[in-house]
Every structure is written in C-alpha cells, then in structure tokens.
Amino acid sequence: MDLVYRSTRNGEETASASEAILKGLTSDGGLFVPDTIPKLGIELGKLADMSYQEIAYAVMKEFLTDFTEEELKDCIKNAYDDKFDTEEIAPMVKAGDAYYLELFHGATIAFKDMALSILPYLLVTAAKKNHVENEIVILTATSGDTGKAALAGFADVPGTKIIVFYPKSGVSPIQERQMITQEGENTYVIGIRGNFDDAQTGVKKMFANEELGSKMQEAGYQFSSANSINIGRLVPQIVYYVKAYGDLLKNGALKEGEPMNVVVPTGNFGNILASFYAKQMGIPIGKFICASNQNKVLFDFFQTGSYDRRREFYVTSSPSMDILISSNLERLIYRIAGNDPKQCAAFMQALTTEGAYTISEEMKDQLSEFYGGYATEEETAEKIKDVYEKEHYVIDTHTAVAAAVYDQYVEETGDKTPAVIASTASPYKFARSVMEAVGSEQEDASDFELVDELHEISGTEIPKAVEDIRTAAILHDTVCEVDEMEPEVKKILGI
C-alpha cells in the first residue's frame, strides 16, 4: 500500500511520495510528513555486508512507495556513482573515541551531495509519473552548502531551472566561489543583503504566494524545492545513518541490536531529523546529540521547551549553521503534538507573528532522546587543533562544533556508547578557519594559498571541487535586497 504524505498544518492536504517531491512545500506553507514511519524490511545484521546503493534502495523503497523498483534503482544508480571521490561512499574514520562519518566526498564536498545527487533524478521521475508538462523551477535558499550541491545536481537537467539565493556576507569565500562560478544554462545564483533566515523566509513566501503561482502556471512553470524541507531531500539522508550502523557492526564496535549515538552539527534540523527517522525505522540509536554554534536557538529549545528566534544573529566560522529558524523542526513538533496539524500550525503562526512559541510539558517529555549542546567560536577552533595534534586528522568547522559538543555530552553524562559524528564538510571548504585554528602563520595568505598549506599538513588530496574553481570565471554576480527577491525571480522567468 502506498504511503500517504500529509501537511504538518492541514490534515486534509495529502500527497503521494512523488507528488510531495514535486511540490516541495504544502500549499499552506507546511511540510509533508508520512502518515507513519515505515520499518526497515531487512535484518540489522545484514547491513554490514550491504553496499551503500543496496542500503539506499532498502530505505527509500519504504518511503517512496509509488516509485517502481526499476525507477528507484535507476535513480540510485545514477546518483551514487563515480562522482564520489572515494570507493566507499560515506567512509567512516575513527579518531579518538568517536567515529567520523565522512559525508563530504561528493561533487561539492559537503554532506548535501548525499541527497542532492539523487534529488534531480527523483524529481524528473516524479514529473513523468504525474504527467507534469510544466518546467520545474527549483527555488532554494542556502546557508552555503545546499546551494552549490543543488546547482551541481540540476545544472542542465532538461525541464528544470534552478534559482539559488544566498546571504552575500554569510558564506565562506570558497562556498561563494563554488556558487558564482557554476556553469549551466538553467542555473541562477543571487546574493541577498541579509542572512540565511531572510533568504529562507523570502523563498517560503514565494511558495505560498497564490498570485505568483497562478502567473507561473500560465507561463508553464511550477516551483519545487531542493532544501531539506522537500521530503525528496530528507529521505536520502536517512540512508547514511543506516549505513553507519552497518559499519559499526562490520568493524566490531557494536553487536547486532546494541545502540549507537549520533552527533550532528545542526542548523535547519534536516540532518538530525533523518537520524530520528532512522531510529523509527528500527536502527538502534540511543541519543541524538544536537550540536549548535553560537546561534544556539536549538540548544535553548531543548533546554527550555521555548523556541525563540528573537535574538542576536552571529556570523560564525560554521556558516551552514548560522540559522535562527530551523525549518525541519516543524516535522518533529508535528509528531510530538500527536500529529495534530492545528496545534502545529498554531506554533508556526506564533513563530512568524511573535517570533517564538513554547511547547507543553507533555511534548517536552517526548524529547528525552535529544541532547542539545553548543560550541563557541573559541571551542570550535580549539577542537580542530586538538583533533589535528592528537590524531593527525583534520576536520572542518561544522564537524568541530559537533566534536566539541560530543565532548561536553560525555563529560556531563559519562555515556561511552559508540558515537557517530556526522562530518558534514571537507576542511578544504573552510580552509582559512581551519588553518587559523591549527596555527598557520600565513596571515596575509589567499584562500587558495591556505588550501595548499592544508594539503601539505594533512597529507590529503585537494578535492577536485576546489581545484576547479581556482581559475573558473565568475558567471553570477547579481545581488539584491530581501524585498527584491520575488522581482528577481519574475525577471528570470519572464513573467
């Protein structure tokens, strides 16, 4: 039987998996959630001997139930191929007392590749299944990594255009250069004078704008999203947590049925929500350790039960986490509210109009599996240096936030359950911050000179994604105010 997807804000709005992928957001600005989280249909012990592609199929077939076996396997085969620079997709490295799940070996050297490699194939297949003749316009806000990964995934994909908005002063130089040098006749990149939350809010407003939707329909277009608000982004992220459990079984760190903990550097809450869904599928996970940087809105939420975005916004060395509105948290709120769309909608309305909401004690009690922590800029830099000096292993700033919070968790709880840290980006993507942390003396060095120094001290290959942008031409130079986002989209589409 096909799994039904429902709006977090309106129980009457339903969709099949392919319809939910096509729409991205629900018509009322909510998110699609499955009526139930399906169980993994294989024994845990078999995971140790399965390839990434085999695990991907085992997970995705349970969620994407209106895709045929042939369709889904074809999407997986095209997504998880030689575009990854390691033979094993998402290898695991033990450093100190933790296991780092390296999710950055794809085309854009960030974990977003794990899902955005397959989303274009899922979307094009979904369009065919639903007899969609409109051109699909992927409209996305990015805090740094989603943008490039989505651009790379959708570049020159027939029947699509992709428009990415990013905070002009809120991403690393390497991240920005990756985006503004992106080739593809159907790609558009626009910097905004604002932060990621401004960009994300602007995108959500366009999705909810019925007048804009009508004009697009008349012109033969329809929106979809490449953010993790799209269920087609979220489901593929479940896969690597299932794979991580298989890895721990394979290397003897766990016996079948024993739990692992997961530690996730968290901004928009999609990645850690994927691990939560993995547990609902049957993967034994003890604690979800939610790591924030100085923009610690999620830490405060787990401490108090109040989500309050009315606070100072910090630009940090881990920009993909510089977020005050964690969109995917809505899916968890819906669940702990007893799948009550009216209650969830009321919370989200309060967040929009008042800037905050507070959950009930009964709801808060359901969050006992989550541990919230945060790392300051100083703690993040110290952790990069510490791991490098002790393990000769270099991690990026986001992974360092997670590692620092994991240290706090162990010190506070004494819990030595084997822990998987989601290593979400290559250190080369944040070479300046990483090299400053390990003690580079090249104060006036360019970002690419620091890339070369990182290569020398780490003994790792410079990723092709970085080499390719050294001399690449800048192809996108548009910058706009937040209130000019919609006019820019209309200009691109000629409507």
Question: What amino acid positions are annotated as catalytic residues?
Answer: 112
Q: What are phi and psi of 46, to 5 degrees?
A: -75, -15
Helix (H, G, I), strand (E, B), or coil: what is residue 308?
Answer: strand
Burial (CB count within 10 angstroms: exposed 0-12, middle 13-18, buried 19+), residue 38:
middle
**Largest distance between two CA atoms of the chain:** 61
Which residues is 102 bridged to in the sheet? 423
Of 403, 450, 447, give the one whose Cα is nearest residue 424: 403
Question: 428, 174 in Cβ contact below 8 A?
Answer: yes
307, 297 contact by CB (below 8 A): yes
| Gap between the Cα atoms of 305 and 292, Å rounded | 16
Q: Supply φ then ψ for residue 359, to 5 degrees.
A: -85, 165
Would you give the DSSP letter of residue 389? H
C-alpha dihedral (320, 326, 331, 332), degrees to nearest 10 = 100
Q: How far is CA 399 from CA 72, 98, 392, 473, in A?
A: 31, 12, 15, 30
Phi then psi for 158, rounded to 5 degrees?
-60, 140
AA identity, residue 269:
F
